Structure 1
Amino acid sequence: MKTTVSVIKADVGSLPGHVKVPQDMLDVCEEALSKAKDDGIVKSYYVTNCGDDINLIMAHDKGVDAEEIHELSWNTFMTAGDLAKERGYYGAGQDLLKEAFSGNVRGMGPGIAEFEIEERPSEPIIVWACDKTAPCAFNLPIFKMFGNPFNTAGLIIDTKMHSGYKFEVHDIKKGRRIFLNCPEEMYDILSLIGIVDRYVIKRVFRKSGEIAASVSTEKLSLIAGEYVGKDDPVAVTRAQSGYPAVGEELEAFAFPHLVPGWMRGSHQGPLMPVSHEDATPTRFDGPPRVMALGFQLKNGELQGPEDLFDDPSFDGARAKAVEIADYMRRHGPFQPHLLPEQELEYTTLPDVIEKMEDRFEAIE
């Protein structure tokens, strides 16, 4: 049977500052999705948070970009945002960039990762959620999962995976996309996705056409025209039987690579794999976090989740992330801790520099 999994997220309020979604806001979301299940809009759901972001995980039969699902999500975030305003929580409604729903939440602030699949007899999926970073945070680990045999042994030894995958890469600055095959066009893929302020992996497919992964690529600053908060992306991937094993996908995060975000969305920091309990960034509003929730999907029912990074084998990655955070913080307001100038264009730093413009003089 065909099932759609939609992961839709938004930051609509937290405490204190940008740390964590309060439980009463999660309760509001739980109530809304419970009613949606009773009304037959969704078959199953799970409400959670990663730091200050609410994540709505829904399984249904409405297909990708379904207006009914997107409107449900929008209204749920609006209700939670109204509660945040009433309680005085920080950043109330900050990711809701439009006044009213218009058929689809794309371009309205929330991030979306969703796919429609023909369920296998056993369908393991992983939902990934980040805080304090940008969509490009998934570029390296998604490539490792589906393109790097040093991470994913199945690319070599599993005949169902040996032909590789097709990557859909988006140019978020020019609003265009390209499809590239791996391993045949691996170097072309890498030439793009390493330029993280412009190119992001949106989807990955098996060569036979079945989708393998979907990533949210919505960039708030490009929608709003100014810096309003980091994008805090989500993703959903399939695992096992023609896809990387669960352990291979998790392995892609064992190296805490540098990602943009952190304090005021203006710094480079290590992406730390954490359990849900530890997905509450506090040090310099960070460092950036990623959590992984594993589900089994059957007839539209989400069974789980298993908190996959709640595992001592990732303690080394977390320790390394702390070490990297220490190193980067010692740079203070200097690059490479501070993001490049082009990534700061939607912050207020240009205004600070502009005030000095008439004091510059030509060098003799």
Structure 2
Amino acid sequence: MGKKITLTVIKADVGGCVGHSSVHPELLEKAKEMLSGSPLLIDSYVTHVGDDINLIMTHEAGRNNGEVHQLAWDVFVACTDVAKKLKLYGAGQDLLADAFSGNIKGLGPGIAEMEFEERESEPVIIFMADKTEPGAWNLPLYKMFADPFNTIGLVIDPKMHKGFDFDVRDTVENKKIIFSTPEEIYDMLVFIGAPGRFCVKRVFQRETGDIAAVSSTQRLNLMAGRYVGKDDPVCIVRCQSGFPAVGEALEPFTYPHLVAGWMRGSHNGPLMPVALKDAHPTRFDGPPRVIALGFQLSEGKLIGPQDLFDDPAFDRARELANNVADYMRRMGPFEPHRLPLDEMEYTTMPQVSKRLKERFISLRK
């Protein structure tokens, strides 16, 4: 048995510049400074998508390590102080607690981490999204790991032919269920087709049990009991040699599917794949964006990144996303552009309903 490497990605919105569109360089520099000097880590990389800071870290401490989580929390607190000094918008909005309590889960920041033995070659893709929620990964992960029309490796690669297991979380009831594909695809689609509640948390190769993908499934509104911003999830996908090829993992994003989020977290819109240089959503605070950074791991070192959506092959996906954005925006405050009522419970909807309650007249005899 070789030594195991843990790849941890933790994100938080601790202040936007300008508004919710981007991250000020001083925050990114503060994060880089704090991570680069940490003896806990083998390597680290700091980036952003929209107004979210993303901390990519490798170490040997395993999943759910309190010291690593404390480090990330301290970084976000320090960045919040910088954001307040600069009077950035929403400073510290994803930090739902006053102090760290042993594990960053439940405190606001989103987290995806996996532990594994490095293969002879270990390519990984880290997907990071802004202006959307964890369920945004459901369709892409399904296509990567269960759809042979997307991933030909499911048909012709002997290492993939037996399929994958999906760990699906019920974010409302705080439960999980494991579906084995391809046998249970139809059952699984009943649930993951409702991404506002059910989210794909992890994917495992069935034959070996090896972790293949992991996403963040934190729901800020359920933790805070109010609207504090969309969850802006992250997702790690291992590629090649028994997992989807890099091109197979990217292919689902050629179709900008509709996701919940966008302006004030209250609208459906297309998920647009963009290069890092275009990861600053401004149109109606959107539309929702996703970036993909590719790394080769070498003894825990992050070799890269390659900005994988910085490719003209995704130009048509971006064009289609803009066309869909035009179509959706014309509906204004009407569904299905605006989210359904059950998703509006953390906005002004309850107060308006309460204020007008006595003006509703029963029509029953």
Q: TM-score scaled by structure 1? A: 0.98
- Residue 69, structure 1, aligned to residue 68, structure 2: yes
- TM-aligned CA deviation for residue 360 of structure 1: 1.3
Residue 288 of structure 1: aligned partner? 288
**Equivalences for 1:1-364 in 2 at 5 Å?**
1-36=3-38, 40-207=39-206, 208-363=208-363
Equivalent residue letter for 2:262 = W
Determine helix, strand or coil for the equivalent of 1:252.
Answer: helix
Structure 2 gaps of 5+ residues are: none
Q: Distance in 1 between matches of 2:26 and 2:176?
A: 40
Q: Distance in 2 between matches of 1:361 and 1:353?
A: 13
- TM-aligned CA deviation for residue 276 of structure 1: 0.5
- TM-aligned CA deviation for residue 79 of structure 1: 0.2
Deviations 1:2-46 (A, max 9, x none): 10000000000011110101000000000000111xxx2100010
Sequence identity (%): 57
Q: Distance in 2 between matches of 1:11 and 1:289?
A: 15
Equivalent residue letter for 1:18 = H
Q: TM-score scaled by structure 2? A: 0.98
Determine helix, strand or coil for the equivalent of 1:106.
Answer: coil
Q: Distance in 1 between matches of 2:362 and 2:175?
A: 41
Q: Distance in 1 between matches of 2:304 and 2:329?
A: 37
Q: Distance in 2 between matches of 1:356 and 1:328?
A: 29
Q: Distance in 1 between matches of 2:123 and 2:186?
A: 30
Structure 1 gaps of 5+ residues are: none
Q: Distance in 2 between matches of 1:252 and 1:196?
A: 16
Equivalent residue letter for 1:295 = F
Determine helix, strand or coil for the equivalent of 2:253.
Answer: coil
Deviations 1:315-363 (A, max 9, x none): 0000000000000000010000000100111111221232211111122
- TM-aligned CA deviation for residue 308 of structure 1: 0.1
- TM-aligned CA deviation for residue 94 of structure 1: 0.2
Q: Distance in 1 between matches of 2:140 and 2:360?
A: 44
Equivalent residue letter for 1:159 = P
Q: Distance in 2 between matches of 1:43 and 1:6?
A: 11
Deviations 1:230-251 (A, max 9, x none): 0000010100000000000000
- TM-aligned CA deviation for residue 188 of structure 1: 1.0
- TM-aligned CA deviation for residue 129 of structure 1: 0.2
